[in-house]
Structure formats: C-alpha cells, structure tokens
Structure 1
Amino acid sequence: MPEIVVPLTIRPLTHDDLPAMAWYGPPTALAAVAEAIDRAHRGEVDYLAVCPPSGRPVAVGGADYTKPPGAATIWQLSVLESLQSCGIGTLLIHALEDRIRARGLRWAELGVDINAARPQVLYERLGYTVSGSETASWNQESADGTVSLYETQVTLLRKDLQAVPEAPGES
C-alpha cells in the first residue's frame, strides 16, 4: 500500500475550532477546552491544535505555566482516535516542549491516569521519567449527560528540557 503524506500545521486553538471538535468529548470536556483557550489569551497557558490542510484540529493539548514553579504542566492531550499511533501526539508534545523552552523553563511535567497506561509508553519513549504519583479527580460526563466525579491515581512524569540527549549506543 502506498504511503500517504499529509502536511500538518501546529497553531493556537481558537474558540472557532470548538464546533469541529465533537471527537474530543462531551460538552463538559469542550467547556474545559474553551476555558483553556481563555487562559491562553491571558498568557497562563499555551493551547495548541494540530491540523491537516482542512484546518480542522485532529489533536490538541496545552502547557500550563501556573504550576509547578519553574516548570510547565503538559495537559489535556488528545488525538482523534482514528489518527492515534501516527506520530501526531509526538509532534504535539515536541511543539509544547518548544513553547515551554521559549518561556525559559527547564522542566515539563505531566500526569497519566493509572487506568490508561498506553500514553505512558509514549511519554517514556520521549524522555519523560516517573517522578511520583498523586491522587487526582475531575468531573466526567457519561453518554446520558450525567456528570460525576472521577477519582484516580496519577503517575507523574518529568522531563529535563535542557538535557542533551545521549548519542545512539551510549549508556
């Protein structure tokens, strides 16, 4: 089968993008994204979209500069399910890391729900290492519109963005 290459652009997500993002989740999830866009306008976060030529987001995620001190938290990463495992998440994470470096910060952190271990493999491949764990909770909306509190343990991962990567074969 021939390979198809689709050019992707990375840009700030806007409120105008939200109607095209039903794939992201229920209305409460999109409301959280809308709040993140507002926070980006205030300079508290960067919130990016990865888009094919249509301009419609196929992946989104943010970097929060308000916590922890001296670092940024990468959060709300999501890739359209049919395009997962195509390298789009990696592209998005690298773009967020570039934004964090541009702010003069050395560290990027993120958390992974222990019930969703697959993303952790990606983050570790990208150089993130386990730095701890914590209890976390957030509102979750079911298919019938019921909102409930979801509580879980989160594995915390951290990456030094100033570290020089080892050359292949070094240990």
Structure 2
Amino acid sequence: MTEIRLHLSVRDLTDADLPACGWAGSPKHVRELAHQIRRAEAGEIDYLAVCTPIGVPVAVGGIDYAVKPGAGTLWQLSVHPALQSCGIGTLLIRSAEQRIGARGLTRAELGVEEGNPRARALYERLGYRAFGRELDSWDTEAEDGSLQRYETMCTLMRKDLT
C-alpha cells in the first residue's frame, strides 16, 4: 500500500473556489454558496474551505452566529466523497471551533441527519453531545432542474468550547 500525505490549509471560501466545489452539492447549492460568501464578507457568518497545497477545496462548511445566542452553529459541513474518513472533517470542525472561540463564544452547535450515523459518530468523537431533535427542510434541485422540498429529522448536538 502506498501512502500519500497532503498538507492542507483552512481559509475562507471565495468566489474563485466555486467552480471546484461541484462535489459539495447540487448546482443550486453551489450557486447559493456565493450568497454565503457575501454573508461572510459582511461578518454574519464564517464559511471555511479546507484546501490542498494548490488551493483546491476538498471540504467546506459554515458557521452561523445568529442562530443561537452565545453559540456558533455549524452547518453545510461537507468533505469531498473520495477523501472522507481521512481526518479532513475533523480538521474542518476544529478550525470552525477556533473561529467560534475567536468571536468570544463558548459553545458550538449543529444538527445531524438521523440517517447519517457516520457523521454523528464523528461529532461524538469530537465531544459533541445530543440535546434534542428537530425537523429540518430545504429545497433541493432534481436532475431535471426542478426544485423539490427535502425534509429530515435531525439530532441537535452541542459542545462546550471552554
């Protein structure tokens, strides 16, 4: 077996990154990332990209500071499918937690789809604990371009960052 080591960096997602983010979701989702970049530029959120040495994003995720008072809410966390289970999600989440702490906040929260046990196991390994459940929904784009409403039950999780 050959082992390859990549030196990854974490930085803010930029408009120039969007063409390389097709793996992160539907074309509609990638188009909406431009809106999230505008929110980040306004200081409302942080939207991070974990990048290879040549600057190509292999993981992305947001931190919203307006959802819960005193907390940063992680959302839209995604790692390139070919690179999952390589520690990149851990790097993304720890970097997000550092951003939350830099704003003087002491808690991170997130919702994980109940049908995604691998993600929940990662969050639990990183110290997140369940505290509730919540129905979540959003519009998704079908292959024919039509919009469909996606609904899912999420487990709410939090971590004390102090």
The answer to whether residue 137 in structure 2 is matched with residue 137 in structure 1 is yes
In the alignment, the residues of structure 1 paired with residue 118 and residue 144 of structure 2 have an alpha-carbon distance, to the nearest angstrom, of: 27
Could you tell me which residue of structure 1 aligns to residue 49 of structure 2? 49
Measure how far apart 1:34 and its partner are: 1.4
Q: Distance in 1 between matches of 2:138 and 2:111?
A: 13
Work out the CA distance in 1 between the residues paired with 2:115 and 2:149.
Answer: 15
**1:114 paired to 2:78:** no
Give the aligned residue type for 1:88.
I
**Equivalent residue for 2:84?**
84
Instruction: Output the amino acid matched with 1:155.
Output: T
Report the alpha carbon displacement of residue 15 of structure 1 after superposing the two structures with TM.
0.7
**1:10-159 paired onto structure 2 within 5 Å:** 10-159=10-159
In 2, the alpha carbon distance for the partners of 1:24 and 1:152 equals 19
**Larger radius of gyration, structure 1 or 2?**
1
Q: Deviations over 1:130-168 (max 9, x none)?
A: 010111110011222221111111100000000xxxxxx
Name structure 2 gaps, 5 residues minimum.
none
Please list the CA deviations of residues 94-129 of structure 1 after superposition, one character each: whole Å capped at 9, or x if unmatched. 000000000000100000111222200000000000
Task: Give the 3-state SS of the residue equivalent to 1:124 in structure 2.
Answer: helix
Give the secondary-structure state (helix, strand or coil) at the position aligned to 2:111.
strand
The total of aligned residue pairs comes to 162
Encode CA deviations 1:59-82: one digit per residue, 9 max, x unaligned: 000111111011110011000000
- Structure 2 Cα separation of the partners of residues 40 and 112 of structure 1: 23
SS at match of 1:58: strand
Q: Once the two structures are superposed, what CA deviation does each residue of 1:12-66 show, in whole Å capped at 9, x if it has no partner?
A: 0001110111111222111221111110001011111011112110000011111
Letter in 2 for 1:57: P
Cα separation, 2, equivalents of 1:122 and 1:40: 26
- TM score, norm. by length of structure 1: 0.92
CA RMSD of aligned residues (A): 1.0
